[in-house]
A and B are shown apart, each in its own frame.
Chain A
Amino acid sequence: MSQELLTRRSAFAGLQALAEQQKPLVDLFSADSQRAEKMTVSAASLTLDFSKQRVTGEVLQSLEKLALEVDLPGRVAALFSGEKVNLSENRAALHTALRAPSGKRPAGLGAVDEQLQRMAALVEKVQSGVWRGFSGKRITDVVNLGVGGSDLGPLMVTQALREYTRPEATPLKVHFASTIDGSQLFDLLTHLNPETTLFTISSKSFTTIDTLSNADTVRAWLGGFCPDSELLHRCHFVGVSASAEKMTAWGLPEANQLYFWDWVGGRFSLWATIGLPIALALGMPVFRELLAGAHELDEHFRSAAPLDNLPMLMALLGVWNVNCLDIRAHAILPYDGRLKYFPSYLEQLEMESNGKSVTREGVPLDYATCPVLWGEIGANAQHAFYQLLHQGTQAVASDFIIAASRYESMKDSTHYESLMTQHELNIANCLAQSRVLALGNAAVDPTDNPFRHYPGNQPSSTLVVDSLNARSLGALIALYEHKVYAQACLWGINPFDQWGVELGKQVAKQLQPLLSVGARSASDRCNRAQSELPQCAPTRELDSSTENLAQLIESYRVESSVGARSASDRYNRAQSALPQCVPTKSGGQP
């Protein structure tokens, strides 16, 4: 088993030795005027300049050795061919099959086409106005209820590609609600029309409490306007899940169910029917273009040699930074407002995948894995956390992401030139920041003011996208997915499970019954309820902090519950203004 451990690899020992002798970036750049040309690699519409990473030719050679020692190409082949790479759950991870053209998929995956077609038909029905709400009106708004992989991917893509919205999709407004506390829904439900709103419930297991509690709230809200529950389910809900059984149990008719499969990980699922909100918001052709862009990068990943292979290279550089240079933080800095949600998307993709401390077989690791990863639109982050990058005490590696061309469609507008100026300012800022982070004082005039001392030597890569569109975004997302997989192979871990996420869910379930208003104290209630609530078993006594907090919160809630009445009055007034699905006057029904 131990052969999986990074620290047992012979190439790794070589890398550690090289790390001892490393030179600052200033010296690396002055030693070789061709450094950037040598350290630039392209694939699809993406180009990576990694010359500001603290690597030398020797380091790269050793990284390549490591890649071969780990047999990255073989592991990639295993991923694509549908081997059960997710050992702890005994599953394949075939998200690449979702975006392959139908003729190029591994055998037996005809269901992928079938679901894509069902999704396209559904999208067409909603966009063309054939799909109707309970009162017969066409759908104007769609709200996606989902969390994690069922939210972040579709949200990120929808935001990034808004300018490419197809005409057939423009009238439809697509919203996202994910939080378990219902706050997004609370805002949405005050202005959405129940007659014309469709809800997509996206959950792989269809048991995700965050999503289903939102769905239950929505169902209760709609029930206030249309008491016919069967009609509501038929007209206002679509489910996307790997569990047909659970969707049916929730009340969704079969025609309103879209499926995907256990071999698609939640955070890799935007390529499957989880992408429904993308297709609804932007148009099915945009979604297909996204798949095509990802497929292009898939082909690159499975064919290019490690040092010409963008995902492998990024994975290797990441391992070098974390395990050889001890850099435990990684910033994602897109210089593009359209990629607003890209950092949060990657936070899940990278940290949920590679935030692990045992090997695929369960052997504890003696080295670090996924760094803390966070980010923000670069130019905005300059006014937030860049100070820490420039003069703080943490070493941080960064990914700068920028689109070369922008606003091509605005050429005839009067504000085109101003927009171009802004675009150029943005590029200038992106390049300036990575330059100053790398070179520090050497990038500016010398001074002896201690407050103006810039140590530099913070490594970064810059990823240039020729132009951000469905195709290049598909490739960009696939790039990071594959980087994550390659990195997991290097670390010897399983990127496709998430056992850490499960624990919190379990404990929350145990605590919930203790928290409804009226319980005199948390433990009292638990004792009274013991017969019905096995999770309140006496062996699981609460710690004093949890108990105190529960009591404190309950005392506040009892006080404030009096003020809740005015809100329900307002709700009732709004309700009476809307048509009911059941005729209020005589003789409506056959």
Chain B
Amino acid sequence: MKLLILGEDLVAWTLAAALASTGCRVHMTACDLPDAASEEVEPDLSRLLDQQLEMGRLQLDCGMDQLANNSLDLLIDARDFTSQEDLLAVVQEAGFPRLVALVQPVPLGTTDTLQEQLNGFSSQPPQVVFWPNFIQAGRALESFTRVEQLLLGSRDAWATRQIKRLMQPFNRSLDRFRVMTPREAELTKVAINGMLATRVSFMNELAQLAERQDIDIEAVRQGMGADSRIGFQYLYPGCGFGGEAFLQTLEQLNTELSASRTADQGLLTSVQAINNQQKDLLFQKLWRFYKADLAGKKVALWGCSFKPNTSSVSGSPALHLIAALLAHEVEVVAYDPRALPAVQKHFAGEVGLSVAASPEAAAVDADAILVVTEWKEFWNLDLVQIKETMKHPLLLDGRNIYHPEELAEQGWVYSGVGRGQVV
């Protein structure tokens, strides 16, 4: 199969590498592979891309010019949705391939509208399907090749067969495809994210209550998760979720929901508001602890990516916290195993932010440590030693990775989300 993948982010590169590895001839519009350290790739993905490029199955065309006369079997648009006109334009530019797949969340009805527009162009129009991706940053390649479910919004039996065949190598033991209309698939995709976000925000709201009532939210979380109707997934309270795609679909779903409402704000508005409050939480704790007198303080920020194992900082609480801290003249020393280049780029030219080579180095002379991302390397550090190098032993744990009793014994002022000391 000969296909063109549009887009230059993690989703596009994951699709390109995985599908090329199954023997497809994959064209990309980029000129070069992304830098191995960038947010667009992950280590295993980067290696696979190198391989596929070498084998010649992956081709970087540096634009779309060469493709116009080249008949494509499939166009995969993995770019973020901008407009209906833009979608039509790229299908035209790609020379009307026989099959078009949209893999990023789109406003409800986008797929059908594009199909209708294309129907007007010829008697043998391209077939459009909505094939939402479930690629997760941090385990991108794995999440595509070992996907739990495959969702396909298609109105055409031929188109359905094509996508199924394409995914056959990853879908052998059990057919995980669930085929529905494009509109159903569009809503399903954003609804899944909405539900996950709702669970997290609900836990965060509970954590606020737990804190006020001197209850350890961790015990509550375990008790809730043990109920099989609920399960353990997405039940961690914390200092806010990020991720561009996730936040975007949430925003989109909320917009769609608001459009069908007249006045009152809906559930998802609260979900987003709670998440925004959580992103600010560690700043608020610091503010309260130092009685609103933050200028000149020094803070170590552990973890900047929006979740572990990714170098992406999009929508990360770290960005929000750093901005808030800098605005109050707090000196911020950030450490992250992979996301520091992205952080430095984001805050280029701003005074007060520096980066450290290790969590220990970041903590030297600090008035507080803020744990923002639960990278595995933070879990078993020698905190007793680290505490000795700090100006004040204040640890604000946005991911609840430490034990309150242990840290209290070590002499820390330790406050998590819904556990530890109330700050």
Contact = CB atoms under 8 A, between A and B. Distances in A.
A579 B214 CA distance: 12
B284 A135 contact: yes
B47 interface: no
Given A130-B328, A235-B292, A583 B287 contact: no
A134 B288 CA distance: 7
Contacts of A235: 292
B328 A134 contact: no
B319 to A, nearest CB: 14
Interface string A126-137: 001110101111
B366 to A, nearest CB: 13
B226 interface: no
B421 A586 contact: yes
A231 B324 contact: no
B275 to A, nearest CB: 15
A585 B285 CA distance: 14
A581 B423 CA distance: 9
A128 B288 CA distance: 20
B287 A585 contact: no
Interface in A549-590: 577, 579, 581, 583-590
A255 to B, nearest CB: 11
A584 B286 CA distance: 16
Give chain B's interface secondary structure class. helix
Contacts of B292: 132, 134, 136, 231, 234-235
Interface in A216-254: 228, 231, 234-235
A136 B285 contact: yes
A524 B286 CA distance: 56
Contacts of B284: 132, 135-137
B263 to A, nearest CB: 16
Contacts of A588: 288-289, 413, 421-423
Interface string A114-141: 0000000000000011101011111000
A175 to B, nearest CB: 20
Interface in A185-244: 228, 231, 234-235
A590 B212 CA distance: 21
Contact of B392 (A138, A577, A587, A590): A590
A587 B408 CA distance: 10
Contact of A136 (B212, B283, B392, B422): B283
Contact of B287 (A136, A577, A590): A136
A586 B413 CA distance: 9
A231 B291 contact: yes
Contacts of B286: 136
Given A135-B284, A136-B287, A579 B212 contact: yes
Contacts of B290: 590
B327 interface: yes
Contacts of B328: 130
A584 B285 CA distance: 14
Indicate the size class of the contact surface on chain A: 20 to 34
Contact of B421 (A129, A231, A587): A587
Interface in B391-408: 392, 394, 408
Interface string B284-302: 1111111110000000000
Contacts of A136: 280, 283-288, 292
Contact of B413 (A128, A228, A587): A587
Contacts of B291: 228, 231, 581
A37 B287 CA distance: 66
A224 B212 CA distance: 17
Interface in B327-368: 327-328
A585 B288 contact: no
Contacts, number: 58
A130 B283 CA distance: 11
Nearest to B281: A136
B32 to A, nearest CB: 38
Indicate the size class of the contact surface on chain B: 20 to 34
Contacts of A587: 408, 413, 421
Task: Find the residue from A132, A137, A234 having the highest chain B CB count within 10 A.
Answer: A132
A251 to B, nearest CB: 15
Contacts of B423: 583, 588
A135 B421 contact: no
A132 B287 contact: yes
Interface in B105-142: none
Interface in B368-413: 392, 394, 408, 413
Given A130-B328, A132-B292, A583 B422 contact: yes
A50 to B, nearest CB: 45
Nearest to B394: A590
A584 B212 CA distance: 9
Given A130-B328, A235-B292, A584 B287 contact: no
Task: Find the residue from B280, B283, B287, B292 having the highest chain A CB count within 10 A.
Answer: B292
Contacts of B283: 136
Contact of A584 (B280, B289, B392, B422): B422
B342 to A, nearest CB: 23
A446 to B, nearest CB: 52
Contacts of B214: 585
A135 B286 CA distance: 10
Contacts of B212: 577, 579
A235 B421 CA distance: 24
B394 to A, nearest CB: 8
A135 B291 CA distance: 9
Contacts of B327: 128, 130
A246 B324 CA distance: 32
Nearest to A576: B212
A585 B324 contact: no
A501 B85 CA distance: 67
B324 A583 contact: no
A301 B287 CA distance: 51
A371 B214 CA distance: 66
Interface string A519-560: 000000000000000000000000000000000000000000
Contacts of A135: 284, 287-288
Contacts of A132: 284, 287, 292
Nearest to A232: B292
Contacts of B285: 136
Contacts of A590: 289-290, 392, 394
A494 to B, nearest CB: 46
Contacts of A585: 214, 421-422
Contacts of B413: 587-588
Nearest to A585: B422
B168 to A, nearest CB: 49
A394 to B, nearest CB: 45
Contacts of B422: 583-585, 588
Contacts of B277: 137
A137 B278 CA distance: 11
A590 B423 CA distance: 12
A129 B284 CA distance: 12
Interface in B261-285: 277, 280, 283-285
Nearest to B289: A588
A554 B285 CA distance: 48
Given A130-B328, A136-B283, A588-B413, A581 B288 contact: yes
Interface string A249-264: 0000000000000000
A579 B392 CA distance: 24
Nearest to A128: B327
A133 to B, nearest CB: 9
A118 to B, nearest CB: 17
12 contacts: A132-B292, A136-B292, A137-B277, A137-B284, A577-B212, A583-B421, A583-B423, A585-B214, A586-B421, A587-B408, A588-B423, A590-B392
The 5 closest A-B pairs by CB, nearest first: A136-B284, A136-B287, A585-B422, A130-B327, A583-B422
Given A137-B284, A587-B408, 14 more contacts: A130-B328, A132-B292, A134-B288, A135-B288, A136-B286, A136-B287, A136-B288, A137-B280, A234-B292, A581-B288, A581-B291, A585-B214, A588-B289, A590-B394
